[in-house]
C-alpha cells in the first residue's frame, strides 16, 4: 500500500469561465474501492472526466502507476490501464453485445490472466444469453453490466466507475455490488462516483466527500460512517 496506483493533486476544472473543481488531491491504491460521494452537482462526474482528459479546461496533475497523465490524450490514459465507465453508460447501441466487448479489448499486462467474454459472462450471467443482441434492445441494468464488462475487456488495473447504480432496478444494483467486489478480488482498483449512499457504503474501503468542487472529507468508510454530523451536513444521510 505504499506507492499509490492513481495519484491526483491540485486538480481543477472549468466549464467556460466557471470553475467547478478546486484543488482536489487524493490517492487510489491498488486493489481498493474508493467512493467519491456528494450531492448532485458536487463535481464527482467532472472529477472522473478530468482524470480521463475529457474536460477540455482542466489543470491535471496526476500520475497513474508512476506515469504522469499530464497532457496525455484520452486513449493513451486508457492504454496505461485506467478504465472508465461513464455515467450514461454510452453503450454502442448499433453494435451487438459481443461487438461492444470487442471495442474494449486490449492485451493484459504480463502475468495477469486476461478478461475474456466467457469470464465476463460468468461475472454477468445476464449478458451470456444475449451476446448477439444489439445494445439498443437492452434494459438499463443490462447496459450498465455491458458497460462495465466492455471496460474490463481492456484489462485495466483501475476503473473509474460513474454512478453504476443510477436508474437501474434494485435487484440489479445488488448484482453491481457483487460485481464490484469480484473486480476487487481480481485486484482491480475502483474509483466510484456514487449518490446512492447505501450502495457506496456497502462496497467501499475509503471515501472522499466532495462538496461544491472541494474535498470536505477523506478517510476510511468506517470513519465516515461514524461521523454523523458530517454526513448529515454534506450528504443529507
Partner 1 sequence: MLALDPAFLAVQALSGLSSASSLFITACGLTIVFGVTRIVNFAHGSLYMIGAYTAATLVPRLLELSFGPVTFWAGILASAIVVGLIGVIIEVLLLRRIYGAPELFQLLATFGVVLVVQDLVVQVFGPQDILGPRAPGLRAPVEILGRRFPSYELVLIAAGPIVLGLVWLLLRKTRFGVLVRAATQDRDMVASLGVNQALLFTGTLFLGAFLAGLGGALQIPRVSAHAGMDLSIIAEAFVVTVVGGMGSVPGAFLAALIIGQLQAFGILVFPKSTLVVVFLLMAVVLAIRPHGFFGRAEIVGGTHAVGIASRALLPRRHFILLVVIAILAGIPLVADAYLLKVATEILIFALFAFSLQLLIGVGGVVSFGHAAFFGLGAYGAALAVKWYGVSMEAALPLGLALAALGAGLVGAFVVRLSGIYLAMMTLAAAQILYAVAFQWVEVTGGDNGIVGVWPAPWASGPIPYYLLTAALTVVTVLLLKRIIDAPFGYALRAARDSEARAEAIGLSVRQHRWLAFIIAGAAAGLAGGIYAFSRGSVDPSLLGISTSVDALTMLLLGGIQTVIGPLVGAAALHALRDWIMPITSLWRLFLGLSIIAMVLIFPRGLVGTIRDWWGARA
Positions in the binding site for partner 1 (CB under 8 A): 52, 54, 73-75, 78-79, 84, 86, 90, 92-95, 99-100, 102-106, 150-151, 154
Given the complex with partner 1, which of 193 and 234 has the nearer CB atom?
193
State in angstroms the smallest separation of the CB of 151 from partner 1: 7
Compute how many other C-beta atoms are within 10 angstroms of the C-beta atom of residue 198: 11
Helix/strand/coil (H/E/C) assignment for every residue in the chain: CCCCCEEEEEEEEEECCEEEEEEEEEEECCCCEEEEECCCCCCHHHHHHHHHCCCCEEECCEEECCEECCCCCHHHHHHCCEEEECCCCCCCCCCEHHHHHHHHCCCCCCCCCCCCHHHHHHHCHHHHCCCCCEHHHCCHHHHHHHHHHHHHCCCCCEEEEECCCCCCCHHHHHHHHHHHHHHHHCCCEEEEEECCHHHHHHHCCEEEEEECCEEEEEEEHHHHHHCHHHHHHHCCC
Given the complex with partner 1, which of 142 and 201 has the nearer CB atom?
142
Given the complex with partner 1, which of 79 and 184 has the nearer CB atom?
79
State in angstroms the smallest separation of the CB of 111 from partner 1: 19
**Alpha-carbon span 118 to 102, nearest angstrom:** 13
State in angstroms the smallest separation of the CB of 91 from partner 1: 9
Given the complex with partner 1, which of 1 and 75 has the nearer CB atom?
75
State in angstroms the smallest separation of the CB of 164 from partner 1: 16
Strand partners, 67: 64
Given the complex with partner 1, which of 4 and 156 has the nearer CB atom?
156
**Alpha-carbon span 183 to 166, nearest angstrom:** 19
State in angstroms the smallest separation of the CB of 77 from partner 1: 8
State in angstroms the smallest separation of the CB of 162 from partner 1: 11
Given the complex with partner 1, which of 72 and 207 has the nearer CB atom?
72
Given the complex with partner 1, which of 150 and 206 has the nearer CB atom?
150
State in angstroms the smallest separation of the CB of 156 from partner 1: 9
Amino acid at each position: 500500500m505504499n506507492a499509490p496506483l492513481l495519484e491526483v493533486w491540485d486538480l481543477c476544472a472549468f466549464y467556460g469561465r466557471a470553475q467547478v473543481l478546486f484543488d482536489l488531491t487524493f490517492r487510489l491504491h491498488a486493489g481498493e474501492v474508493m467512493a467519491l460521494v456528494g450531492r448532485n452537482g458536487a463535481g464527482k462526474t467532472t472529477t472522473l472526466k478530468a482524470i480521463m482528459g475529457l474536460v477540455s479546461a482542466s489543470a491535471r496533475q496526476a500520475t497513474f502507476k508512476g506515469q504522469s497523465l499530464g497532457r496525455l490524450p484520452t486513449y493513451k490514459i486508457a492504454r496505461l490501464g485506467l478504465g472508465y465507465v461513464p455515467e450514461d453508460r454510452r453503450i454502442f447501441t448499433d453494435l451487438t453485445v459481443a461487438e461492444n466487448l470487442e471495442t474494449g479489448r486490449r492485451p493484459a499486462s504480463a502475468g495477469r490472466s486476461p478478461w475474456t467474454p466467457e469470464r465476463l459472462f460468468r461475472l454477468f450471467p445476464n449478458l451470456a444469453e444475449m451476446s448477439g443482441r444489439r445494445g439498443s434492445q437492452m434494459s438499463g441494468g443490462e447496459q450498465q453490466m455491458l458497460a462495465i464488462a466492455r471496460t474490463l475487456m481492456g484489462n485495466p488495473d483501475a476503473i473509474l466507475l460513474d454512478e453504476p447504480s443510477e436508474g437501474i432496478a434494485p435487484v440489479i444494483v445488488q448484482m453491481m455490488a457483487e460485481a464490484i467486489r469480484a473486480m476487487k478480488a481480481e485486484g482491480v482498483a475502483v474509483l466510484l462516483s456514487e449518490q446512492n449512499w447505501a450502495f457506496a457504503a456497502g462496497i467501499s474501503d475509503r471515501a472522499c466527500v466532495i462538496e461544491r468542487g472541494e474535498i470536505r472529507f477523506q478517510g476510511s468508510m468506517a470513519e465516515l460512517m461514524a461521523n454523523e454530523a458530517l454526513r448529515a451536513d454534506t450528504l443529507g444521510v
